[in-house]
Amino acid sequence: MVFPVSFGWIQALLVVLFVVAVVLVISAVVRARRVGWRALAGRGAGALVLVLVAVVILWVTTLLQTYLGLTGEVKAAHVVATPVDGQPHTLDIELTLYGDGNHSDRHEKHRVEGDLWVLQANIVELEHWVNTLGFHSGYQVARLFGERFDGDAPRQNHIFLNGNDRDFYEQMQQNTWYTKPFVRSVYGNAVVAAAGSYDVFISQDAIKTRPA
């Protein structure tokens, strides 16, 4: 299971803004204590301005980080699916699974029975407030298989890409993954596409594909 963390210059800037806002709040409180809260309210001292500026900075920072956290995507795979000449309902799949700091990229070739290819992922969806801190939901690309246009069930078994995922679903059934208040939900999700070249992305709550 991979839990990507997005922390770049944007997140660093947001941290700086948050620190500035906290410093402004502390400065405002110190100034208010020196002149007294009644005098501060009566004279409209600069501490009130500092508090207002700090609140605005915190509000903007929260909005930006929330947007980044909830719209983040991870490029998980690249798929090239090609129909096999002379073999109806058959696709050759060139699959690239992208790694991270602890996993290297993998390049594999498979043949699946079907006019469509299906890539399934196991997803551990984190609570939104965890996403806003830069943590992406966890995922593991789990299975590859085919589907036919005519609706007939393929006779080919699913191809496991990261070993059998029985443990994942047993833990899900037993609520092992539900570690409150961090995990929101746990499930399997799949993307279905026809022949062609595609990039596969994992968002905070789903697997999706776009033509490459």
Q: Is residue 193 within 8 Å of 80, Cβ to Cβ? A: no
Ranked by mean pLDDT, the top range of 2-11, 99-108, 116-125 is: 116-125
Degrees (nearest 5) of the Cα angle 56, 61, 66?
130
pLDDT of residue 135: 79
pLDDT(83) > 60: yes
What pLDDT score does 5 carry?
65
Q: What is the pLDDT of residue 14?
A: 62
Please give the residue that has the higher pLDDT: either 8 or 184. Answer: 184
> What percent of the chain is modeled with pLDDT above 90?
42
Average pLDDT, rounded, for the chain = 81
Q: Which of 22-31, 58-67, 139-148, 179-188 has the highest mean pLDDT?
A: 139-148
> Average pLDDT in the 46-58 region?
64
If pLDDT is split at 50, 70 and 90, which confidence band does 98 have?
Answer: very high
For the entire predicted model, the pTM comes to: 0.72
Higher pLDDT, 171 or 110: 110
Identity of the highest mean pLDDT range in 19-23, 131-135, 137-141: 137-141
Per-residue pLDDT at 160: 96
**pLDDT over 90 (residue 117):** yes
pLDDT at 44 over 50: no
- Give me the DSSP letters along the chain: -B--B--SHHHHHHHHHHHHHHHHHHHHHHHHHHH-HHHHHHHT-HHHHHHHHHHHHHHHHHHHHHHHHHH--EEEEEEEEEEPTT-TTEEEEEEEE---SSS--EEEEEEEESSEEEEEEEEEEEPHHHHTTTBPPEEEEEEEEEE-TT-PPPSSPPEESSS--HHHHHHHHTTTT--TTTEEEEEEEEEEE-SEEEEEEE-SS-EEEEE-
Which pLDDT does position 183 carry in this prediction? 87
* pLDDT(65) > 60: yes
Q: For residues 12-30, give the mean pLDDT.
A: 69
